[in-house]
C-alpha cells in the first residue's frame, strides 16, 4: 500500500474548469486522419461502439470523434484518450501516429501485438499509457537518426506499460527517453537486470518494475535520479489469479539509492535483498512509506528514521535487524509499524502515538508496557513473543479504537485490568503465556464485541465469570493451564474442552456444544410425552412468565430513562444512525458501513491524517465511499460540529469531495464522503475535455496561455493576471506534495494578485 498523498485543493481544479475554452469544431489533415483510421482498422472488436463515429465519412470533423482532442489553433490531433473502451485487436508494428500527438491513452483495453514502433519513436509524444492490455514482445527503442536534432522518445514524460506480456530485458536505450518522469513497467515478464542507464534519466520521479522476473543487483546509478520519489522494486499485493512476484534481486539496496533526497516511497518486500541499512543520511528525509519486509537486511535499526517526519508506513518485518529502536522512532504520524520477526531490543514505542497498526512481535523487546496507554488511536497492537515485564497498565481503558491486542509470550505479571471491559471495539485479546495472577475480572465481559480471548498459560485463579455467556461473538475462550475453579460458563458458540484443561479445580467440561439447548427446541417440544419433557415445559412456562414480568418492568424503566434523555442537551450518542444528505443512497446505513469496511479493518485503510484514519467502503458493487473516522476528543462542542457538518453537506460539485453523511456516536464518529486523488489528482475523468491539467501545462510551456481562457475572461481581465492565476492553479496540481503549495500560501498569492490590481 502506498500511502496516498493528501488531495490537492480541488476547488482550484474547478477554477481551471471554469477558465477553459470549448474544443474547436472541425478540421482536416491527411496524416492525422490516416493515423486515426489506421488505429480504427486495428480494432477487431468494439462492443461498446466507442469508435462508431470514427469513419472516413465524417473525416472533416475528426476533432469531434470520441477520444480525440485537437490542438485549438493548428487543429492537429494532440491527444487520443480511449481508456477502458473495451477495444481489442492486434496493433500492427507499423501503426502510424498523428504527427503532432502529445498524449495517447489506450489503457485497460485488450490490444495485443507489439508496442508499435512509432510509440517509442515519436518526437512529440509526452504521455503514453497502454497499461492493462495484452501487448507482447520485447521493448525496443529505435536509435536516433543521424540527421535529427530530437531523438526518438526524447519528449516522453510518462511511459505506462504495466500489466502486459512484455518480455526480454529493459532496454538500455531507454535512456533516450530523457524527459521520463514516470516509468511503470510492472506486471510484465521482463527479465535480467535493471539497467544502470536508468540513472541517466535525470527527471525520473516514479519507477515501478515490480512483478516481473528481474534479477541481479540494484544499480547504485539509480541514485543519480535526484528527483526519484517513488521506487517500487517488488509488490506482493496481487489479486487472486494474478501473476505473483518473481523479481529476486542480488545483493543489498545501495546506500546511495536509499538516501536519494527526494525519495518518498520505497517498496521492496520479499525482494531477496541483503546487506545493511545505512546508519547516517544527509539532508531532509522525505520518506512516507518504506516496505523492506521479508528480506535479509542485517545490522542495526537506522537512527535517522526518526528524522523522517512524514513517515506513515514502515514495514521492516522478518529481517535480521537488531539493536535498539528507542528514541529513533519518535515519528509523529506513523500509522503502520511492523518490525516483527527481528532481534530488536529496548523500546520507547509509544512515541509513535498515532500508530494505527503496530506489530513488534517476535523480537527481544523488554521493559514495561506503561506507554501503551498513550497510543490513543491504535487499532492493532501486537507485542507477542518478546520479554516485556511488569503489569498491564490499567489505563488501557482509554484506547477506544483498540480492536486487537496481542501480548502473549512475554513476562507480564499482576492482574488483568478490568478496564478492558470499557473497550467497545475490542475483538481480539491475547494475554496467553505470561505470569498473570488474580481472577478474570467480571467487567471484562462488558467488551461486547470480543471474538477471541486467550488467557491460557498464566496463573489465574478464581472462577470464570458466567456472563461470558452473554458475548454473542465470542468464538474462542481459552483459559487452559491456569488455576481456575468453579463452573464453565455456557457459551453461545460451541467451545472445545481443550480450552479448559490444566485447571484441576475447574468443574468437568461437558462440551459446551451440549450445554444450552436453543430456545426453539424447547418450545417445539409439545408432542413429547415424557415426564422430563413436561417438567421442562413447566420450567419454560415459569421462565416465560417471569420473563414477561421482567420485560414489563424493563419497558417502564426504559420509558423513564428515555424521557430523561430527551431532556438532555446533547442527543443520544449511542444511536447507531447515519445522518445522510441529499443524493445519499439507501444503502448508506451504519451496519452497511461497518460491514463494508470489515469493521474498520486495516485492509480498507486508505490514509490517515490529523483527525483520524480514512477507510474505503464498497456499499454496493461499484458504489464506493470513503469513511473518515474521527479521533474523538478533538471537537470542542458536538453541536458546533453538527452545524459545521450540515454546511459541508450542502456543498455539491462533481469534482469536489462531497460529504454525503456522518455518524455521531460512541465509540465512533465518522464522516462519509463520496470516494475519489483511487482517482489521481490529474485523472483525465475530472474533465470532459481530457486531462485539462496537462493541457494547461502544455500551453504554459508554449507560452500560449491565451488559448486557455474564454474570450469573456480575456475581455474582462488582464492576460498576465489570468496567467498568474493559472500558474497558481497548476502549482496546486503538482504531483509532488513537496512542490504543492499550502492553502495558506495559495490564499496569500491570490490576495497579492488582487492588491496588484
Ligand atoms: C502494489 O500493487 C497493488 C495492486 O496490484 C497496488 O494497488 C499498489 O499501489 C502497489 N503498491 C505500490 C507501492 O505501488
Ligand atoms: C484479450 O485478447 C486475447 C486475444 O488477443 C484473448 O485471448 C483474451 O481472452 C482477451 N482478454 C479479455 C479480457 O478479453
Ligand atoms: C533524416 O534522414 C532520413 C533517412 O535517413 C529521412 O527519411 C528523413 O527525412 C531525414 N530527416 C530530416 C529532418 O532531414
Ligand atoms: C554526508 O555528507 C558528508 C559531508 O558532506 C559526507 O562525508 C558523507 O559521506 C555523507 N553521507 C552520506 C550518507 O551521504
Ligand atoms: C504480527 O506479525 C506476525 C509475524 O511475525 C504475525 O504472525 C501476526 O499475525 C502479526 N500480528 C498482527 C496483529 O497482524
Ligand atoms: C507484519 O509482517 C508480518 C510478516 O511480514 C505479517 O505476517 C503481518 O501481517 C504484517 N502486518 C501486521 C499488521 O502485523
Ligand atoms: C528479560 O528481561 C529481564 C529483565 O526485565 C531480564 O532479566 C532477562 O534476562 C530478559 N530475558 C531475555 C531472554 O532477554
Ligand atoms: C521474568 O521477569 C523476572 C523479573 O521481573 C525475571 O527474573 C525473569 O527471569 C523473567 N523471565 C524470563 C523468562 O525472562
Ligand atoms: C489454586 O487456587 C487455590 C484457591 O482457589 C489455592 O488454594 C491454590 O494454592 C492455588 N494453586 C496454585 C498452584 O497456585
Ligand atoms: C463441538 O462441535 C464441533 C462442531 O460443531 C465439533 O468440532 C467439536 O468437536 C465439538 N466438541 C465437543 C466437545 O463435542
Confidence of residue 205 (pLDDT cuts 50, 70, 90): very high
Res. 114: pLDDT tops 90: yes
CA 222 from chain center: how many Å? 27
Q: Are strands 230-232 and 206-208 parallel, antiparallel or unpaired?
A: parallel
Cell for 395?
Answer: 489505563
Relative to beta strand 380-382, strand 127-129 is unpaired
Alpha helices in 351-496 (DSSP H): none
Which pairing describes strands 411-413 and 452-454: parallel, antiparallel, or unpaired?
Answer: unpaired
- Ligand 3 atom nearest the C-alpha of 148 is 13
Which of 73, 127, 26 shows the shortest CA–CA distance to 697? 127
Report how far ligand 1's centroid is from the alpha carbon of 667 (Å). Answer: 32
Q: Answer whether residue 98 shows pLDDT above 80.
A: yes
Contact 460, 483 (CB under 8 A): yes
Whether residue 742 is predicted with pLDDT greater than 90 in this model: the reply is no
Pocket test for ligand 5, best of 356, 360, 361, 379 (most atoms within 8 A of CB): 361
Q: How far, in Å, CA of 429 to CA of 375, rounded?
A: 17
Q: Ligand 5 centre and the CA of 601: distance in Å?
A: 15
What does the alpha-carbon distance between residue 732 and residue 379 come to, in Å, rounded to a whole number?
33
Average confidence (pLDDT) over 271-278: 91
Query: Which residues are within 8 A (CB) of 109 and not within 5 positions of it... i.e. 6 or more apart?
Result: 82, 83, 84, 85, 86, 87, 88, 132, 133
Q: Is the predicted pLDDT of residue 217 greater than 50, yes or no?
A: yes
Q: How far apart are CA 381 and CA 383, in angstroms?
A: 7
Please give the distance, rounded to the nearest whole angstrom, from the Cα atom of residue 359 to the centre of ligand 5.
6
**Alpha carbon 273 to its chain's center:** 25
CA of 313 to the centre of ligand 3 (A): 52
Residues in the chain: 757
**Contact by Cβ (8 Å): 733, 17:** no
Of 340, 304, 348, 344, the C-alpha closest to 321 is: 344
Ligand 5 neighbourhood includes 409 CB (under 6 angstroms): no
Nearest atom (ligand 8) to Cα of 435? 1
For residue 126, pLDDT beyond 90: yes
Predicted local distance difference test score (pLDDT) of residue 521: 35
Cβ of 340 below 6 Å from ligand 5 = yes
Beta bridge partners, 89, equal 111
Taking a C-beta distance cutoff of 8 angstroms, is the pair 77, 35 a contact?
A: yes
Question: Which pLDDT score, from 0 to 100, does residue 308 have?
Answer: 85
Please tell me if the CB atom of residue 387 comes closer than 6 angstroms to any atom of ligand 7: yes
Beta bridge partners of 307: none
Q: Please state the domain extents for the chain.
A: 584-752
Average per-residue pLDDT for the chain:
79
Strands 605-609 and 612-620: antiparallel
Query: Per the structure block, which three cell numbers stand in for 560?
Result: 423513564
**Whole-number Å distance between alpha carbons of 110 and 113:** 10
Is the minimum distance from the CB of 408 to ligand 5 under 6 angstroms? no
Give the pLDDT band of residue 647 (cuts 50, 70, 90).
low
E strand segments, 91-152 = 103-105, 110-113, 127-129, 134-138
Q: 494 CA distance to ligand 10 centroid (A)?
A: 6
Q: Is 319 in the pocket of ligand 6 (CB under 6 A)?
A: no
Answer for the pair 288, 309: CB distance below 8 angstroms, yes or no: no
DSSP structural state of residue 677 = -
Per-residue pLDDT of 7-58, as tens digits, reads: 444 344 333 333 333 333 334 488 999 999 999 999 999 999 999 999 888 8
Binding pocket residue ranges, ligand 2, CB within 6 Å: 88, 110, 112, 134
CA-nearest residue, atom 7 of ligand 2: 134
Total-model pTM: 0.67
Q: Which residue out of 99, 142, 146, 147 has the highest number of ligand 3 atoms within 8 Å of its CB and is therefore the one to mutate?
A: 147
User: Going by CA atoms, what residue is nearest to atom 5 of ligand 6?
Assistant: 317
Burial 162-193 (b: 16+ CB within 10 A, else e): bbbebeeebeebbbbbbebbbbbbbbbebbeb
H-run or E-run covering 538? helix 531-567
Whether 494 and 475 have beta carbons less than 8 Å apart is answered as no
Ligand 2 mean position, distance from CA 84 (Å): 14
* Statement: residue 116 has pLDDT above 90: yes
- Name all residues whose Cβ lies below 6 A of ligand 4: 259, 278, 280-282
Counting from 1 in the atom list of ligand 4, the atom nearest the Cα of 278 is 13
The burial of 8, by beta-carbon neighbours within 10 Å (0-12 exposed, 13-18 middle, 19 or more buried), is given as buried
CB count within 10 Å of CB 530 equals 9
Specify which of 286-300, 355-369, 553-567 reaches the highest per-range mean pLDDT: 286-300
Residue-wise pLDDT tens digits, 366-409: 888 887 877 777 889 999 999 999 999 888 888 888 999 999 99
Centre of ligand 1 to C-alpha 640, Å, is: 39
**Does residue 493 sit in helix, strand or coil?**
coil
Alpha helices in 618-742 (DSSP H): 638-650, 692-701, 711-716, 719-732
Please name which of 217, 215, 165, 157 lies closest in space to residue 186, comparing C-alpha atoms: 165
**In this structure, which topology does domain 584-752 adopt according to CATH?**
Phosphorylase Kinase; domain 1 (3.30.200)
Pocket test for ligand 10, best of 510, 511, 518 (most atoms within 8 A of CB): 511
Tell me which DSSP letter residue 632 carries. Answer: T
Q: Which three cell numbers stand for residue 483?
A: 488455576
Nearest-angstrom CA–CA distance, 693 and 708: 11
- Candidate of 223, 257, 277, 280 to mutate for ligand 4, largest count of ligand atoms within 8 Å of Cβ: 280
Question: Quick check: 186 and 232 in contact, CB under 8 A?
Answer: yes
Residue pair 407/391 in contact by the 8 Å Cβ criterion: no
Closest atom of ligand 2 relative to the 90 alpha carbon: 5
* Region label for 210, one of left (φ > 0), alpha (ψ between -120 and 50) or beta (otherwise): beta
pLDDT computed for residue 583 by the predictor? 64
- What is the rounded average pLDDT of the residues 661-690? 61
For ligand 8, whether the C-beta of 60 sits within 6 Å is no
> Average pLDDT of 274-292?
89
Which residue, among 633, 697, 641, 717, has the nearest Cα to 668 in the 3D structure? Answer: 633
pLDDT, tens digit, for every residue of 443-495? 999 999 999 999 999 999 999 999 999 999 999 999 999 999 999 988 888 77
Residue with the smallest CA separation from ligand 5 atom 9 is 382
**How much is the pLDDT for 623?**
78
Classified as helix, coil or strand, 445 is helix
Ligand 1 atom closest to residue 291's alpha carbon, by position in its atom list: 13
62 pLDDT tier (thresholds 50, 70, 90) = confident
Q: Which is the closest atom of ligand 9 to the Cα of 485? A: 5
Q: What is the pLDDT of residue 585?
A: 75
- What stretch of H or E contains 421? none
pLDDT at 322: 86
- Ligand 2 test: best mutation among 47, 90, 110, most atoms within 8 Å of CB? 110
Q: Edge-to-edge strands of the sheet including 88-90? A: 88-90, 110-113, 134-138, 165-167
Task: Looking at the CA of 341, name the nearest ligand.
Answer: 5
Whole-number percent of the chain with pLDDT over 70:
77
How far does residue 577's CA lie from ligand 10's centre (Å)? 38
Q: Kindly give the pairing relationship between strand 380-382 and strand 357-359.
A: parallel
- Considering every ligand atom shown, identify the ligand nearest to the alpha carbon of residue 491 and give its number: 10
Given a contact cutoff of 8 angstroms between Cβ atoms, the answer to whether 331 and 311 are in contact is: yes
Q: How far is Cα 542 from Cα 550, in angstroms, rounded to an integer?
A: 12
Distance from C-alpha of 459 to C-alpha of 483, rounded to nearest angstrom: 6
pLDDT at position 560 = 41
Q: Evaluate the omega torsion of the peptide bond into residue 667 and state whether it is cis, within 30 degrees of 0.
A: yes
**Which residues have CB under 8 Å from 32's CB, separation 6+?**
62, 76, 77, 98, 99, 100
Nearest to 49 by CA among 74, 66, 33, 34: 66
Beta-carbon count within 10 A of 725 CB? 21
pLDDT per residue as tens digits for the range 564-594? 443 333 333 345 777 776 567 778 888 888 8
Amino acid at each position: 500500500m502506498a500511502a496516498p498523498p493528501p488531495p490537492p485543493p480541488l476547488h482550484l481544479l474547478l477554477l481551471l474548469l471554469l477558465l477553459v475554452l470549448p474544443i474547436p469544431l472541425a478540421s482536416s489533415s491527411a496524416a492525422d486522419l490516416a493515423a486515426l483510421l489506421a488505429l480504427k482498422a486495428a480494432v477487431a472488436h468494439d462492443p461498446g461502439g466507442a469508435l462508431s463515429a470514427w469513419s472516413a465519412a465524417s473525416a472533416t470533423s475528426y476533432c469531434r470523434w470520441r477520444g480525440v482532442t485537437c490542438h485549438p489553433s493548428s487543429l492537429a490531433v494532440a491527444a487520443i484518450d480511449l481508456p477502458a473502451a473495451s477495444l481489442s485487436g492486434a496493433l500492427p508494428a507499423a501503426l502510424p501516429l498523428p504527427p503532432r500527438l502529445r498524449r495517447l491513452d489506450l489503457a485497460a483495453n485488450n490490444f495485443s501485438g507489439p508496442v508499435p514502433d512509432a510509440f517509442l519513436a515519436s518526437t512529440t509524444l509526452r504521455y503514453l499509457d497502454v497499461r492493462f492490455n495484452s501487448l507482447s514482445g520485447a521493448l525496443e527503442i529505435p536509435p536516433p537518426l543521424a540527421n535529427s536534432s530530437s531523438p526518438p522518445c526524447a519528449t516522453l514524460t510518462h511511459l505506462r506499460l504495466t500489466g502486459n506480456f512484455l518480455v526480454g530485458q529493459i532496454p538500455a536505450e531507454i535512456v533516450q527517453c530523457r524527459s521520463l518522469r514516470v516509468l511503470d513497467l510492472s506486471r510484465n515478464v521482463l527479465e535480467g537486470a535493471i539497467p544502470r542507464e536508468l540513472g541517466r534519466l535525470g527527471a525520473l520521479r516514479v519507477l515501478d518494475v515490480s512483478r516481473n522476473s528481474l534479477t541481479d543487483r540494484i544499480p547504485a546509478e539509480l541514485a543519480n535520479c535526484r528527483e526519484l520519489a517513488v521506487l517500487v522494486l517488488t509488490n506482493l499485493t496481487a489479486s487472486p489469479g494474478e501473476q505473483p512476484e518473481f523479481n529476486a534481486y542480488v545483493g543489498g539496496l545501495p546506500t546511495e539509492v536509499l538516501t536519494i533526497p527526494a525519495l518518498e516511497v520505497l517498496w521492496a518486500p520479499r525482494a531477496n535483498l541483503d546487506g545493511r541499512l545505512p546508519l547516517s543520511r544527509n539532508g531532509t528525509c522525505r520518506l512516507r512509506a518504506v516496505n523492506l519486509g521479508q528480506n535479509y537486511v542485517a545490522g542495526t535499526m537506522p537512527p535517522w528514521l526518526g528524522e523522517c517526519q512524514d513517515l506513515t508506513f514502515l514495514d521492516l518485518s522478518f529481517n535480521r535487524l537488531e539493536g535498539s529502536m528507542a528514541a529513533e522512532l519518535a515519528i509523529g504520524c506513523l500509522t503502520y509499524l511492523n518490525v516483527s520477526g527481528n532481534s530488536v531490543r529496548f523500546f520507547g514505542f509509544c512515541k509513535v502515538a498515532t500508530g494505527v497498526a503496530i506489530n513488534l512481535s517476535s523480537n527481544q523487546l523488554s521493559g514495561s508496557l506503561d506507554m501503551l496507554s498513550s497510543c490513543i488511536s491504535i487499532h492493532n497492537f501486537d507485542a507477542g513473543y518478546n520479554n516485556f515485564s511488569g503489569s498491564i497498565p490499567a489505563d488501557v481503558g482509554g484506547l477506544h479504537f483498540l480492536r486487537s491486542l496481542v501480548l502473549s509470550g512475554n513476562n507480564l505479571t499482576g492482574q488483568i485490568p478490568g478496564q478492558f471491559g470499557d473497550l467497545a471495539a475490542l475483538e481480539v485479546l491475547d494475554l496467553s503465556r505470561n505470569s498473570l495472577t488474580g481472577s478474570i475480572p467480571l467487567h471484562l465481559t462488558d467488551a461486547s464485541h470480543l471474538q477471541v480471548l486467550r488467557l491460557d498459560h498464566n496463573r489465574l485463579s478464581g472462577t470464570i465469570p458466567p456472563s461470558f455467556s452473554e458475548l454473542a461473538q465470542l468464538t474462542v475462550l481459552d483459559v487452559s493451564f491456569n488455576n481456575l475453579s468453579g463452573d464453565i460458563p455456557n457459551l453461545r458458540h460451541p467451545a472445545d474442552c481443550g480450552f479448559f484443561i490444566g485447571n484441576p479445580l475447574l468443574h468437568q467440561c461437558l462440551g459446551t456444544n451440549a450445554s444450552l439447548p436453543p430456545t426453539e427446541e424447547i418450545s417445539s417440544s409439545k408432542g413429547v410425552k415424557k415426564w422430563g419433557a413436561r417438567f421442562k415445559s413447566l420450567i419454560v412456562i415459569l421462565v416465560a412468565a417471569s420473563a414477561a414480568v421482567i420485560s414489563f418492568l424493563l419497558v417502564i424503566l426504559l420509558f423513564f430513562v428515555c424521557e430523561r434523555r430527551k431532556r438532555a442537551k446533547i442527543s443520544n450518542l449511542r444511536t447507531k444512525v447515519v445522518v445522510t444528505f441529499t443524493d445519499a443512497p439507501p444503502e448508506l446505513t451504519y451496519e452497511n458501513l461497518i460491514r463494508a469496511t470489515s469493521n474498520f479493518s486495516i485492509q480498507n485503510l486508505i490514509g490517515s491524517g490529523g483527525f483520524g484514519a480514512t477507510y474505503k467502503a464498497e456499499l454496493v458493487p461499484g458504489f464506493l465511499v470513503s469513511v473518515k473516522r474521527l479521533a474523538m476528543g478533538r471537537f470542542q462542542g458536538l453541536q458546533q460540529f453538527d452545524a459545521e457538518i450540515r454546511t459541508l453537506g450542502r456543498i455539491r460539485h462533481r469534482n469536489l469531495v462531497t460529504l454525503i453523511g456522518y455518524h455521531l456516536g460512541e465509540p465512533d464518529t465518522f464522516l462519509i464522503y463520496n470516494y475519489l486523488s483511487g482517482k489521481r489528482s490529474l485523472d483525465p475523468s475530472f474533465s470532459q475535455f481530457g486531462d485539462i491539467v496537462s493541457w494547461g501545462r502544455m500551453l504554459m510551456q508554449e507560452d500560449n496561455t491565451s488559448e486557455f481562457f474564454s474570450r469573456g475572461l480575456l475581455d474582462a481581465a488582464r492576460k498576465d493576471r489570468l496567467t498568474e492565476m493559472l500558474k497558481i492553479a497548476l502549482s496546486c496540481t503538482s504531483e509532488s506534495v513537496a512542490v504543492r503549495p499550502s492553502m495558506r500560501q495559495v490564499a496569500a498569492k491570490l490576495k497579492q494578485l488582487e492588491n496588484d490590481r
